Amino acid sequence: MSRMSGLMLPANLTQVAARHREQADKLRAQYGVEPPRWYRITNAAASDEAEVMLYDEVGGWFGAYADEFIDELAQITAPRLRVRVNSPGGSVFEGIAIANALRGHPADVTVQVDGLAASIASVIALAGDRLVMQPNSMLMIHDASGMCLGDAADMQQMAGLLDAISDNIASAYAAKAGGTAADWRALMQAETWYSADGAVEAGLADEVGAQRGAAAEPDAEPDPEMRQEYDLTAYGYQGPSQPKAPEPTPTLVISIADALDEDTMARLRAAVQPPAAEPVVEPEPVVEPEAPAEPEPAAEPEPIKPAEPAEPQPEPANDDWTAMVASLIPDDTDGWSALVSNLIEPDTSSSAATA
């Protein structure tokens, strides 16, 4: 962020600024115009805490001057003072004057950063007795910067002055959070941003404000008043009413039999008569195939007996006489031939014929 947190002008320009301020005050008084207010102070007589809202750039060229703020601050008589800050910074010297005015006030000062406390506004935030960072608010620190018109010697003088201003601001951070001014100067040169929790961790802030609707601590006793229930019977309230059951919708029923004759109704009944039920055929039971029987062991073959040798047959007689007689005997079947045959054939043939 490049806000001008330090402003050092040559003497002649400072005089010009003072003359412009005087002229602006005369014009406002002539036309009844209030100067732009970058702060607001509320000091209600019935309250023991006054409130100061610092919601703009700080003093000098950017708004009202510190002397106006200090004049109104001195009128606060409340024992407690809450300063709410949401500012990008502004004039270094105006901011330091405001911070010292807060330190010197007799009230117990709590500074509350609502949105942003950057540059010289962060120094003002450290001026209270306690610094509270609201949820999601931020705080930023950086080196002082300014403008200069002149020759090289003027530029060198301005550079030395800015270093002195930055070292002075670094000592304010070290006084609040600890550490050395050199350490904080290094953080300023790096332009360091802190979240609400980061500011507490760095030691610049004391606490983070509670979130709205945050759960109470487990050990905290609930307020007895929170357990009270309102008695609404005085207002005619008798408790939640039960919803009524919907009423049944009336149904119109017309009998067709009253409008038709008996013959027509008989034909209608026959037409809508359900067909006779077919006999239910029960499915045949499924016969599970039997498991194949295990094959019986094959019988051992009987040993083959060697064939008995055939009895030798006597060879027929083959003499000449037999052959001659056989050719003389006729081949007939009468008794004489058979008789003669028995007489003339050898004994072996006769035995074979009568067997």
**Residue range 249-279, pLDDT digits in tens:** 766 666 666 666 777 777 777 776 666 666 6
pLDDT, residue 70, reads: 87
Domains of the chain, by residue range, sit at 8-34, 38-142+191-208
- Percent of the chain scoring above 90 in pLDDT: 34
Active-site residue (options: 5, 87, 105, 142) = 142
186-219 per-position pLDDT tens digit: 999 999 999 999 999 999 999 999 887 655 455 5
pLDDT, residue 289, reads: 65
How many beta carbons lie within 10 A of that of residue 314, not counting itself?
A: 11
Phi, psi of 219 (to 5 degrees): -85, -5
Active-site residue (options: 5, 87, 119, 137) = 119
Catalytic: 20?
no
109-156 per-position pLDDT tens digit: 999 999 999 999 999 999 999 999 999 999 999 999 988 888 999 999
pLDDT, residue 32, reads: 78
Q: What is the mean pLDDT of the chain?
A: 75
- Say how far apart CA 14 and CA 74 lie, in whole Å: 27
Task: Evaluate if residue 350 carries a pLDDT over 50.
Answer: no
| Strand runs labelled E in the chain | 39-42, 49-54, 80-87, 108-118, 130-133, 138-141, 192-195, 207-208
Alpha carbon distance, N-terminus to C-terminus of the chain: 152
38-142+191-208 architecture in CATH? Alpha-Beta Complex (3.90)
297 by Cβ neighbours in 10 Å (0-12 / 13-18 / 19+) ranks as exposed
Q: Please answer whether residues 125 and 140 qualify as being in contact, where contact means their C-beta atoms are separated by less than 8 angstroms.
A: no
